[in-house]
Amino acid sequence: MPPSELRQSRFSKRPKTQFCCIVFNNPIPNRVEILRKLSKYKDIHCYGAPFGNHFNGEDIKYDILSNYKFNICFENGIHPGYYTEKPIHAKVAGCLPLYWADENCKQDFNTGSFLNLNDFSSMDEYVERIIQLDSNEDEYNYFLMNRNHGMVRSLSAYGRNIDKYKNPEVDPLFDFFNSLIINSTSVISSIKKLIEC
């Protein structure tokens, strides 16, 4: 979704009546730590299997996220070139992604479109920055909208470390999808249009 459409989406226009939420099924240590620290400031609404309120479908997710100023969208783990839908869903829903990804994400994403835990020296410093943004509506809006020049810089992440994940049992399928992602201009163009937010 191009930035111009993102600003006009029904999700991004919705008033943000809630502070922050998180959606996950895997309670990794960094997710637990940010929940513990940030919830001392304000309540964080939690969704997913560990909380007994799991939901299915992107539209439902966008509808829920669109009520929040911030969405904690930490990856399950950090691996070079491993990125999922989490920060993109947050951005499409009109909230500021609170992300945790590898330091190489700067090559693939506009890091001005989210807060990456790896850009801070500690979780405490990260939480302080979130509180600053929440406490200053002008700064929050500037960060959310004016710094939104598209989320994705390139699609190199989709092929950068792909050989590490090859499995001889599924090579034909792997090679098929790899060729689509790496070599198809039309596929890359379509993906860019979908995730340009």
Q: What are the residue ranges of helices labelled H in 17-104?
A: 29-38, 58-65, 86-92
Of 188, 186, 146, 154, nearest to 6 (Cα)?
Answer: 146
- 41, exposed or middle or buried, with CB in 10 Å at 0-12, 13-18, 19+? middle
Higher pLDDT pick, 13 / 132: 132
Helices (H) and strands (E) in the chain, counts: 11, 5
**CA dist 125 → 26, 49, 90, 117, 130 (Å):** 24, 29, 22, 9, 9
pLDDT reading at 120 higher than 80: yes
CATH architecture classification, 3-146? 3-Layer(aba) Sandwich (3.40)
Structural domain spans, the chain: 3-146, 157-195
Report the distance separating Cα 130 and Cα 134, nearest Å: 6
Is the pLDDT reported for residue 2 higher than 70? no
Q: How confident is the model over 20-34, as pLDDT tens digits?
A: 999 999 999 999 999
- 47's tokens: 């969704």
- Determine the pLDDT at residue 8: 53
**Low-confidence winner among 76-85, 116-125, 162-171 (lowest mean pLDDT):** 162-171
* Other CB atoms within 10 A of residue 183 CB: 10
| Contact assessment for residue 16 and residue 9, using Cβ atoms and an 8 Å cutoff | no
Distance CA 169, CA 172 (A): 8
Share of the chain above pLDDT 70, in %: 67
pLDDT of residue 11: 67
pLDDT bucket at 55, cuts 50 / 70 / 90: confident
At residue 173, does pLDDT exceed 70? Answer: no
Which of 76-80, 104-108, 147-151, 159-163 shows the lowest mean pLDDT across its residues? 159-163
pTM of the model: 0.73
**For residue 120, which of 145, 103, 134 has the smallest C-alpha distance?**
103
Q: Average pLDDT for residues 166-185, to the nearest whole number? A: 48
